Amino acid sequence: MIKENAVDFWDKVMNLDRRWVYLSIAIVVIIPTVIPFQVPVATTPEVKKVFNFINRMEAGDYFYLGIDYDPSALAELDPMAYAILNHAFSKDLKVVVGCLSQFGVAMAETRLAELSEKYDKKSGIDYCFLGYRPYPAIVILTMGVDFRVTFPLDYYGVPLDSLPVMQGIKNLMNVKGVVDITAGNVADFWITYGNGRFGFPVALGVTGVMSADYYQYLQSGQIFGLISGIKGAAEYEELSGFETTGLASIPYQTLTHAIILIFIVMSNIGYFVTRGRKKR
């Protein structure tokens, strides 16, 4: 009797209506909202390298931050931009920020405005926001030669030459490195033209789906660090201690991954049980 019930159960598992899967995901996504909890995050070397790059710079050192994503990738990439900017401003680093995504420029400005107010940083003195220009490959190539060719004025219309922060900074060779956060092929341009043509160090922050594509550049040394997806953002937050939504999103990811794993295990047990029965 019990055995028959068991077989019935696995039969049902094998023919499970997918809506049950969807419902489980929906419930699991709601749980951390109702019952908040924390999940420890193990850090990876590729994120640590980006963290170390920022962390080892001294007050007054320059780096370039590319906020090259648009609102559609905001959920995954925003925490990275927040963590890095928080970290940089708290260490009094000078940041040159550019945007190579048409729909992302207003968003990038909002982020900068918010954080500069928090750390009492002034545009033109502590950081420079270049704004947006189309044709990323060409912009990167010209910034390697001179920022002023593509960006004679900053985002706010002030000539770059008159900005104290840009005194003595001619091109991307004068900064310590580039951290580019993007959801698109701008990353390839930074690798090909930034690192390939000029040889300055480049690190990337990309979406989770993209990460598998960029590991090869890590291995070949064309990028020195890689932050991928929410997990990577959470690692950076963990390392730097500046928490926004990265670490907070991890419980959701953990639970959804766990439920999917449970489903996969169940479907495999079901597969073997029902197959075994068919054979008999």
Of 44, 52, 90, 244, which lies in the binding site for another protein, with binding defined by CB under 8 A? 44
Tell me the closest approach of the beta carbon of residue 106 to another protein, in angstroms: 8
Number of helical H runs and strand E runs in the chain: 11, 6
Question: In sequence order, what E strands does the chain have?
Answer: 62-68, 94-99, 127-132, 178-182, 202-206, 225-228
**Contact between residue 129 and residue 112 where contact means Cβ atoms under 8 Å apart:** yes
Site for another protein contains 178 (CB under 8 A): no
The site string for another protein over 202-241 (x = CB under 8 A, - otherwise) reads -------xxxxx-xx-xx-----------x----------
Return the number of the residue (4 or 143) whose C-beta is nearest another protein: 143
Of 9, 110, 162, 272, which lies in the binding site for another protein, with binding defined by CB under 8 A? 272
Q: Half-sphere exposure (CA, 13 Å, Cβ side) for 124?
A: 11
Helices within 63-126 (DSSP H only) = 74-90, 105-118
Site for another protein contains 276 (CB under 8 A): no
On the 0-12 / 13-18 / 19+ scale of CB atoms within 10 A, 209 is exposed
Of 7, 25, 137, 138, which lies in the binding site for another protein, with binding defined by CB under 8 A? 25
Tell me the closest approach of the beta carbon of residue 22 to another protein, in angstroms: 5
Q: Is the dihedral of CA 203, 209, 214, 218 positive or negative?
A: positive
**Crossing angle of helices 229-240 and 208-219, rounded to 10°:** 70
Site for another protein contains 15 (CB under 8 A): no
**Contact between residue 68 and residue 180 where contact means Cβ atoms under 8 Å apart:** yes
Of 71, 102, 241, 276, which lies in the binding site for another protein, with binding defined by CB under 8 A? 71
Site for another protein contains 30 (CB under 8 A): no
Binding site for another protein (CB under 8 A): 16, 18, 21-22, 24-26, 29, 39-42, 44-45, 61-62, 71-72, 106, 145, 148-149, 152, 167-169, 173-174, 176, 196-197, 209-213, 215-216, 218-219, 231, 250, 253-254, 256-261, 263-264, 267-268, 271-272
